[in-house]
Amino acid sequence: MHILNMTFQLKKNYLKIDGIDYIINSCIPFYEQEELVLTKMEDIIKDSVITNSLKKSPATTSNVNLRLSRVKAILSE
C-alpha cells in the first residue's frame, strides 16, 4: 500500500482520536508492514506511553522519538 493510502485509511478509521496525526506519523516508518500496523493500531492508540507523550508538547523531538520507539516495540510484540 502506498504511504498516502495508509495515512488516509488510518485517519479515516481513527478520526476522533486525540493526537491521531502524531500517532499516524509514528506509524509511517513501518508502512511496509501495513497489515501489522493495522492489526496493532488499537494497541498503539491505547498505549499509556504514547497517550502520555501527547499530553504536553507532543511535537518535541523527545516525544516524537518516544512514540516511534514505542510503536516499534508494540509491532515487535
- Each of the 77 residues of the chain gets a pLDDT tens digit; together they read 588 888 999 999 999 999 999 999 999 999 899 899 999 999 999 999 999 999 999 999 999 999 999 999 999 99
In the chain, what are the domain boundaries?
3-76
Q: Helix 20-27 to helix 3-13 angle, to the nearest 10 degrees?
A: 150
Q: Indicate the residue type of 12.
A: K
Count H helices and E strands in the chain, helices first. Answer: 5, 0
pLDDT the model gives residue 3? 86
pTM for this structure? Answer: 0.90
Q: What's the distance, Cα to Cα, between the start and end of the chain in Å?
A: 23
